Amino acid sequence: MRFSCNGCGKCCHDHHVPLTLAEARDWASDGGALIILLEAVLADGSGLPAGQREHVLRRSLAVRCGQTRAHLAITFAAFNQGACRHLGSDMRCAIYQRRPLVCRIYPMEINPHIPLRAENKDCPAQVWETGPELIVGGQLVDAQLAELIERSRQADREEIAAKAAICQRLGISTSALKGDGFTSYLPQREAFLDALNEVQAQSPEQSEADWALHVSNAALARQLEETGAMIAAILADNCSFIALRADAA
Ligand code: SF4
Ligand code: SF4
C-alpha cells in the first residue's frame, strides 16, 4: 500500500480529534470546544470486542460500577462540526507545526486490531496509488509514523487516571457500554481547565468514585444489572448518548 497526502482537507472536517492532556489544555486555552467521550467494558467481559482484551484493558481504568468493576476508557477530543477551527480556506492547517498527534498519524489506525482500509478513510482514491510505500507485508514501514502511533498509545495508557479524575471534578460519572454507544459531554472550557489544573497539581490518584452505565435499551440494562452493574436511568443535562447499534431505543 502506498500513500501520498494531497492536502484535500477532508480529514479536517467533521472529525472529533482525540487529544492528549497537554493538547486538550492547549485546545481549550486557545478557545476551542472539547467533547468528552466515555465507553466501558465490564469485568465479566460485557462489551469487550473479541480478541481486543489486552488493548482495551491497557488504555482503561478499573472503577467501581455497582457490585462489579468496569474498565473505563475516556477520550478528550476537539469538538469539530464542519471544518476544524484551524483549517484555512486554502485547506492548510494554521497550527501545522503544533497540530495534535492524531492529525499527524491520520490516516493510520491507532488501535492495533483495526487494519488500515482505504475505503474507511476520507482520502480520495488516487492518494493510495502514489507516493512512498506505507505498508509492506502487513507492516508499517515508516518508522517515524510508527513512533507517533506508539506515543499516542502510551499517552492513552498514562493519562487515563487523570482523565477519570477530571471527569469526576466535572460531575461526570456515567459511561456507555463499549459497542453499544458513547456517552458524550460538552464541558465548559473554563470548568475543564480548572479541573485539569486541579488534577495535575495533585499526585496521581486511583478513581474510587462509583460509575454507572447508560445503555441503549431496557433488555440490555436488565442483562447488565444481573452482573451487578449499576445502570443509570437518565443522563445528566450536560451530556447525551451516541448510539452505535441500529436497534437502539
Ligand atoms: S488541527 Fe490542523 S490538521 Fe488537525 S484537524 Fe485541525 S486543521 Fe486539520
Ligand atoms: S483526507 Fe487524506 S489526502 Fe486529504 S488531507 Fe486528509 S490525509 Fe491528506
Q: In this predicted model, what pLDDT tens digit does every residue of 91-137 receive, in sequence order?
A: 999 999 999 999 999 999 898 888 899 999 999 999 999 888 888 88
Taking residues 14-40, what's their average pLDDT? 96
Which residue's C-alpha comes closest to atom 1 of ligand 2?
123
Distance 175 CA to ligand 1 centre (A): 28
Integer Cα distance of 215 and 180 in angstroms: 7
Sequence-distant (6+) residues with CB within 8 A of 123 are 3, 5, 6, 8, 10, 11, 107
Is 3 inside a domain boundary?
Answer: no
Is-contact 108 144, C-beta < 8 A?
no
Q: What is the mean pLDDT of the chain?
A: 91
Share of the chain above pLDDT 90, in %: 76
Is 129 inside a domain boundary?
Answer: yes
7 lines ligand 2 (CB under 6 A): yes
The number of the ligand nearest the C-alpha atom of 12 reads 1
Type of residue at 175: S
Is 2 inside a domain boundary?
Answer: no
Asked if residue 115 has a cis previous peptide bond (ω within 30° of 0), the answer is: no
Is 5 inside a domain boundary?
Answer: no
For CA atoms 178, 183, 184, 187, the dihedral sign is negative
Which residue's C-alpha comes closest to atom 7 of ligand 2?
5
Distance 108 CA to ligand 2 centre (A): 11
Segments forming the whole domain that contains residue 143: 10-243
Distance 91 CA to ligand 1 centre (A): 9
Closest atom of ligand 1 to 87 CA is: 7
What confidence score (pLDDT) does residue 81 get? 92
Is 87 inside a domain boundary?
Answer: yes
What confidence score (pLDDT) does residue 209 get? 85
Number of folded domains in the chain? Answer: 1
- Number of helical (H) and strand (E) elements in the chain, helices listed first: 6, 10
